[in-house]
Every structure is written in C-alpha cells, then in structure tokens.
Chains A and B, each alone.
Chain A
Amino acid sequence: MRLIAENLSGERGGEAVFDGIGFVLADGEALVVTGPNGSGKSTLLRVIAGLLPHSHGRIAFEGDSEDFPTVASACHYLGHQNAMKAALTVQENLQFWRDFSGNGRLGISDALEEVGLGGLGHLPFGYLSTGQKRRAAIAKLLISHRPVWLLDEPTSGLDKASDARFAALMQDHCAAGGIIIAATHLPLGLEGVKTLEMGRVHAL
C-alpha cells in the first residue's frame, strides 16, 4: 500500500499556494506537514482528499485490495470542523457516519471509550465542550476503517491527557499498516515520522 504525490501544486482563488510537493508514504508511515499560517497546509490536505483540484502533478493511492479504488475512498478527513450535528446526540452522529461511511470497525461505545468519552453518547453533541467535541470527531476515525488519515490540526482544543491518548491512537493506526498525514503546529507525539515543511520555497 502506497500513497504517492508527485510534483503537486495547489491553488486557491487562482493564486498558487504551493508547488512541487512530492512524497511517497508506505504502510505504517506518517507525514507531519508544518509551516507558517497561509503556507498551504490545509490546502494540501484538501488537494490530497480530492476536495480541491490540483493544478499540476499527480496523486495516487496503490492499495493492496480492491476495497479502496481511489484516494478519496481510502481517506478519513478530519478538518477544522467536526462534521457533527449539534441537535443530534453523539451516539446518533457517530451511528450515522458509521452507516454512511461503511467498512465498520469499532462499535460506537468502544470508539467513545477509546477517546475517553465513555458514557457520554446520549448527550446532544452541542452540549459537549470544545475538547470533547474534538474527541468525538476523532472517534469518527475509529468507527469505520480507512487506511489513510488526513488530519488538519487534529489536536486543537485537546488537553494533555487527550493529546497523549490521540498520539497512541495514531501510533496504533500506523502499527496496523495505516498512513497518516497531519498538518499541525503542535508536536503530535509521533516518533519516526517524515516531515514536510511548507512555505520554504516562498520564503527564499
């Protein structure tokens, strides 16, 4: 299993944000994307997920099986927003995404237990604190299986304990042969990861 990006360039509103980005990630590898604000970290993740078009280059996913024919189908995308409905309970939100995304993995209560929200499934999502909301969104990564996790500032709003718990979850994912690409300012607590520093080209 490999995720390949070659000479990728992305633009926003007709203006090039980055170009010439390339990397190859194999099973169990993680890539941390860093760089100053506006250097195109989020844009890169959205380009990889196929949510934004790329102006040049190529992005491909070579899976071991036929389950994930395209890059988009192989990706979990955790963006700035949590993609949960405030009016529905945490349980209902997660159940929906589990049914909709397919490839079910952990059950809802197990996933909530993993992120330290055990027993809070019955609360409306809107009642949770910022950090708890983020943890519920992280639980979304666990309920259905995707080999590639695209994480955009995944730990924003998390406290230290949750940070450590999330780092362990990411390590488990990599150990199981998954791929992680994370855009962040904060150290993620992952060891032996590749890093990609955005914005250097523009700084020169």
Chain B
Amino acid sequence: MLALYLRDLRMGVRAGGGALTGVLFFLAVIVTIPFGVGPDLNLLARIGPAILWIGALLASLLGLDRLFQADREDGSLDLLVLNADRHMLALTVFVKCLAHWTASVLPLVIAAPLLGLFMNMSPLGIGAAALTLLVGTPAIVFIGAAGAAVTVALPRGGLLISVLVLPLVIPVLIFGVTAAYGAVNDPDPFTPPFMILCALTMFLAVIGPLAAAVALRSGTD
C-alpha cells in the first residue's frame, strides 16, 4: 500500500502530473476576484473565506478525472482490481485518494494563506480558513473518487465528474465556510461547524472509497 502511495505521489509530482495546474487555477480565481468586486477592503475581508473555499473546491475538482483514468488507459487498473484479494479494493482507492490529495490538493491548502492576503483577511481568519481547508478538502477528494470511478470509461468525463460531485460536496463547503467565519465573527461559534466538518471528512473517507470500489468493479470491460 505504501508502494502505491509513493508511486501515485511520484506520478503527481513529475512532469504531466498536473499538480501545479490546480494551484495556478486557484491563483487565477482568487486574483481575479478583487478586480471584479472592486477595492472595497471590508467587503473583500468579509467574502474572503467563502471565496477561498470556492476556489479551492473548484481547483481540487480539476484533476479528479485522471484519478482512475490514467490507470485504466495503461492497464494498471485491471491489475489493481485483480489484486483485490490481497488489498481490499476500497483500501486501494483510499490510498490513491490520499496520494492524489497530497500531490494535488495539499499545495492548494499551502497556497491558501498567501492568497488570503489578496482578500484582505485578518491573520486569524487566514489561519481558520487554511485549517478548515486542511480538514475539509480530503472529503472532496473522497467523494470525487466515487465520481471518477463512475466516469472512468468516458473519454471526457472531467466536466461530468464536477457536475456529479458538486451537489454532494455542498455540505462540506457550507460547514467549512461557516467554521472559517465563526473564527473571526464573534457571536458565531467555530467549534461546532468545525467538528461537523471533521465528521463529514471521516464519514466520506469510508463511503467514498467503498462506492468507488463498487463502481470500478462493475466498470471493468
């Protein structure tokens, strides 16, 4: 399993892995917002956490279509399914998700504090947004894996994944943004939505890979 994690991580980091694409997209979204919204610093600070979250959400959906498609095209997916007796397929999917998150989504979380400066967010707000992103983005990848497994056989499944997955990640977005707001706006609580966000991630860490494994098993042809 460690071998699979390391292999996928290497693939993501090396040329053609697309790890940088997400960060560049994220950067493009966040940098464009102040130009569109105007130089109202208070407004920017207020919408900052939400914009960071939406940007990170869309950016992390970008590379999801390659999660299984690359393995399917070169035949690796057959062998991963064939080895299901040794390594439970859901666990294989889980490890692939972790590797994808480390290579493609973790850079977004690391870039988020820097991009928060563009939105005139307070240091506390930036910290809270980064923390909620760190905890919440794995959930996006886990649901995304199910979407990627369903569309694995489609040549241009990327957009379809986004359409399939977006409604399912709305709760993650809501609780992530609520927690990020709760940290800076005084009467709003931080801990309850943050805990629900953690719970969502853990819940989806089980459901997502299981669903993806079922889809992959019936999708081999």
Contact = CB atoms under 8 A, between A and B. Distances in A.
Contact of B4 (A70, A73, A96): A96
B3 A99 contact: yes
Given A12-B221, A51-B81, A99-B3, A79 B11 contact: no
A3 interface: no
B85 A97 contact: no
B87 A100 contact: yes
B112 to A, nearest CB: 28
Interface of A: 12, 46, 49-52, 69-70, 72-73, 75, 77, 79-88, 92, 95-97, 99-102
A96 B74 contact: no
Nearest to A79: B75
B43 interface: no
A85 B74 CA distance: 7
Given A49-B82, A72-B84, A96-B7, 18 more contacts: A52-B221, A73-B83, A73-B85, A77-B82, A79-B75, A81-B74, A81-B75, A82-B74, A83-B74, A84-B74, A84-B76, A85-B7, A85-B11, A85-B74, A92-B7, A95-B3, A97-B79, A99-B2
Contact of B73 (A49, A81, A100, A101): A81
Interface in B11-30: 11, 14-17
B156 interface: no
Contacts of B4: 96, 100
B88 to A, nearest CB: 12
